Amino acid sequence: MTAPSTAIDRFHAVIPAGGVGSRLWPLSRAAAPKFLHSLSGSGESLLRDTWQRVAPISGEGRIMVVTGRAHGDAVREQIPELAEANLVLEEEPRDSSAAIGLAAAILVRREPEVIIGSFHADHIVRGVASFGQAVRQAIDAADRGYVVTIGVTPTEPATGFGYIRATGPAPGAPSALLADSFTEKPDLDAALSYLRSGDYLWNAGMFVARADTLLEEMRRSRPQLVAGLEELASAWDGDGRADAVARLWPHLEKIAIDYTVAEPAAAAGRFAVVPGRFTWFDVGDFATIARLGAAGRPNQLVTLGDVEKVLADDASGLVINSSGRVVAVVGLDDVVVVDTPDALLVTRTEHAQRVKQVVDRLKSTRPEVL
Amino acid sequence: MTAPSTAIDRFHAVIPAGGVGSRLWPLSRAAAPKFLHSLSGSGESLLRDTWQRVAPISGEGRIMVVTGRAHGDAVREQIPELAEANLVLEEEPRDSSAAIGLAAAILVRREPEVIIGSFHADHIVRGVASFGQAVRQAIDAADRGYVVTIGVTPTEPATGFGYIRATGPAPGAPSALLADSFTEKPDLDAALSYLRSGDYLWNAGMFVARADTLLEEMRRSRPQLVAGLEELASAWDGDGRADAVARLWPHLEKIAIDYTVAEPAAAAGRFAVVPGRFTWFDVGDFATIARLGAAGRPNQLVTLGDVEKVLADDASGLVINSSGRVVAVVGLDDVVVVDTPDALLVTRTEHAQRVKQVVDRLKSTRPEVL
């Protein structure tokens, strides 16, 4: 006989670890995507940062990592605490509905009342206490039947993020607000009006829900996808996994969970948002990493990697030394130098977004360094 | 019986190949000084460029290279045509009086009437026909007893070069002018007045003289040095070379040939200058290489080394890829990127002179990359 478990005891974290991050080339590669790299200044990889952020909430035994087969060994190495049963290796990437949906389907078979929370492996959060509080509030709202997201309180009219509109209290869930709509990357005027209104939160892609609720929501619009995920899950913990993967994986629909769960739930009044007051970064490009490392100090040179071998004189910006070579930077402002064993990028923070175009050009000429 | 040889038949070129070139770090190193690198855009090293420039004048069999013992194999590899008797390996660097004086002493023993011409291994010359004409004129004046230099007609008030003042016709040598004084790196006002006067030429460090004349000139102020060089030379082509080197080399005075030959000869009216109208560069820093490669075209990105692997977008300046890695440069003007297997430099052309300070700092922290 055990005492009736509280919602937090039934919580299981899920970390989908995917996405190459092509604007972080040449650091981030198909073979070593950004979540495996140390970019936050913690000295740990983004993946391990994420693990350490959620472990105090869920416990180490209740964190599942979903990643590509190619990254399995790197994940095991970075997180030796991860139980093999909590490592889900994808045959090939099928986007977030499949990744999170499969985790939900596996976990709900193991534990029908499970509440899952999904957290990207490549985001940076500062303010762990506030983060933990927001997750606990989201778990409470999820236990009451909502699909819940944690929205980040905007601090500037960012045009690179998605926004969630909160409309008022979520009935029956005192810690959450009802959310009714999403906006992807608004223009500056819209972002300014969102910031002024106070009703909008940044969409940090953190979803919390009962696993059965989440699958039910997804099933409404994607019955075939959920059927495939449930069939996979039913074979997952037995002998038939390999056969099921071979048979089903290639046919799973590739679609983001925003479209299969978040937006339909929001439109139907089943979607809640918990405002988080922590600092959050989607580490999308080198300018973000430079800004993050500078932490508001002007004319700062942020160095990552083998910093002992970086020699800077009158320079600001970002130097990432992941080649172990001596890197000397003299007389350059807002420079970005990313040095890896087989490729070097030199640019300025203002051109951080153009790195993607470099990657596009390399696809045809030098695919071996992507 | 042979016909009486003309002056040009008695000409023997000498290429002193020394000098690390610390403002060209990390390309130029103690183990791989700048003359071994391809910096002129010819695709050949500066040393081989020099060889190919003088060979049409002297013939391939009449070019002596004087370099450090450590660089012997690299020189042999770059110039397979070089006869072993024409390769003089210095035990340790003792400056230009010893290097050129030893060559003179060896050559005059082999051929008493020899006229030698000394040409730095790390300069760039454009206009080979004009260069050849000037050398031939210098040989003629040398045969008449002068110590001769080839002075480059200035095209701008450069403050980084030495200047030679020509005073009028050289008696008995119709192709040359008498020169009476030298000025090292003048200030801008002086350089402007030199340029306006038309009497000054850039000192390109090219000396032509009968070997016996040169040694005689050096002997006046440095009898001990010349005695040492002649003793070395007398043992050079026999069994006693190693003993003589061990005994004499450490005691050779370290002094530039400007002070032991050029200046005293000029003061005594025995020094002539032949004006050269070719384009000449002392490849002192990366800004010079960028300017040289751009050849007057604005906003040019000059690439050297493994240029196929340089991907540039909206960039100007200089990229030297000697690591074989992919180098991407995006949105930077007047940038200097020098990529080598164990060290990387990123700076701007305007800071090219500051590279020397980087090298000074590395002496204590990372001598292994110098």
Tens of pLDDT, residues A229-276: 999 999 999 999 999 999 999 999 999 999 999 999 999 999 999 999
- Taking the CA atoms of residue A167, residue A173, residue A174 and residue A180 in that order, the dihedral angle to the nearest 10 degrees is -10
Alpha carbons B113 and A217: distance in angstroms, whole number: 101
Q: What is the pLDDT of residues A337-351, one digit of tens each?
A: 999 999 999 999 999
pLDDT of residue B283: 85
Q: What is the pLDDT of residues A145-176, one digit of tens each?
A: 999 999 999 999 988 889 999 999 999 999 99
In this structure, how many other beta carbons lie within 10 angstroms of the beta carbon of residue A91? 14
pLDDT of residue A343: 97
Distance between A23 CA and the closest CA of chain B, angstroms: 13
Distance between B135 CA and the closest CA of chain A, angstroms: 41
Do the beta carbons of residue B362 and residue B368 sit within 8 Å? Answer: no
Contacts of A337 in chain B (CB under 8 A): 344, 346
Contacts of A129 (CB under 8 A, 6+ apart): none
Q: What is the pLDDT of residues A326-339, one digit of tens each?
A: 999 999 999 999 99
Band of pLDDT at residue A21, cut at 50, 70 and 90? confident
Helix axes B211-221, B223-236, angle to 10 degrees: 140
Chain B residue closest to A326 (CA)? B343
Do the beta carbons of residue A12 and residue A119 sit within 8 Å? Answer: no
Ranges of chain B whose pLDDT falls below 50: 1
Q: What is the pLDDT of residues B198-220, one digit of tens each?
A: 999 999 999 999 999 999 999 99
Chain B residue closest to A369 (CA)? B326
- Taking the CA atoms of residue A142, residue A148, residue A149 and residue A154 in that order, the dihedral angle to the nearest 10 degrees is -110
Give CA separation, A219 vs A109, A231, B165, in Å.
16, 13, 92
In this structure, how many other beta carbons lie within 10 angstroms of the beta carbon of residue A369? 20
Q: B325, B361, B364: best mutation site toward chain A, by most A Cβ within 10 Å?
A: B325
CB–CB of A337 and B327 under 8 A?
no
List of E strands, chain B: 11-17, 63-68, 87-90, 115-118, 123-126, 147-152, 163-170, 173-183, 200-210, 271-276, 279-282, 301-305, 310-321, 326-339, 343-348
Alpha carbons B13 and B114: distance in angstroms, whole number: 10
pLDDT of residue A4: 56
Helix axes B95-110, B211-221, angle to 10 degrees: 140
Domains with residue ranges and CATH for chain B = 8-282 (3.90.550.10), 286-369 (no CATH)
| pLDDT over 70, % of chain B | 99
Band of pLDDT at residue A296, cut at 50, 70 and 90? confident
CB–CB of A326 and B369 under 8 A?
yes
CB–CB of A332 and B347 under 8 A?
yes
Alpha carbons B322 and B339: distance in angstroms, whole number: 6
pLDDT of residue B3: 52
CB–CB of B344 and A326 under 8 A?
yes
Q: Which of A332, A337, A342 sits opposite B325 (nearest CB)?
A: A342
Chain A residue closest to B352 (CA)? A330
Contacts of A357 in chain B (CB under 8 A): 313
Band of pLDDT at residue A310, cut at 50, 70 and 90? very high
For the record, the structure tokens of A116 come out as: 């899952």
In this structure, how many other beta carbons lie within 10 angstroms of the beta carbon of residue B47? 26
What secondary structure letter does DSSP report for A153? Answer: P
What secondary structure letter does DSSP report for A225? Answer: H
Q: Which of B309, B344, B357 sits opposite A325 (nearest CB)?
A: B344
Residue B263's nearest CA partner among B211, B212, B203, B176 is B203
Contacts of B361 in chain A (CB under 8 A): 311, 313
Give CA separation, B275 vs B31, B178, B322, in Å.
35, 11, 36
CB–CB of B369 and A345 under 8 A?
no
CB–CB of B325 and A341 under 8 A?
yes
CB–CB of B331 and A354 under 8 A?
yes
ipTM of the complex: 0.83
Helix (H, G, I), strand (E, B) or coil at A242: helix
Q: What is the pLDDT of residues A68-88, one digit of tens each?
A: 999 999 999 999 999 999 999
A1 pLDDT exceeds 50? Answer: no
Contacts of B337 in chain A (CB under 8 A): 344, 346
In terms of Cβ atoms closer than 10 Å to its own Cβ (0-12, 13-18, 19+), residue A262 is buried
Q: What is the pLDDT of residues B253-307, one digit of tens each?
A: 999 999 999 999 999 999 999 999 999 988 889 998 999 888 889 899 999 999 9
A281 pLDDT exceeds 90? Answer: no
CB–CB of A346 and B346 under 8 A?
yes
Mean pLDDT of chain A: 94
Alpha carbons B287 and B208: distance in angstroms, whole number: 30
pTM above 0.90, yes or no: no
State the count of interchain CB pairs (< 8 A) between A and B: 118
Alpha carbons A26 and A359: distance in angstroms, whole number: 9
Alpha carbons B293 and B296: distance in angstroms, whole number: 8
In this structure, how many other beta carbons lie within 10 angstroms of the beta carbon of residue A304? 22
Contacts of B29 in chain A (CB under 8 A): none
Contacts of B366 in chain A (CB under 8 A): 309, 311, 326
Helices (H), chain A: 46-58, 72-78, 95-110, 128-143, 188-197, 211-221, 223-236, 241-248, 257, 263-267, 286-294, 355-365
CB–CB of A346 and B355 under 8 A?
no
Chain B residue closest to A345 (CA)? B328
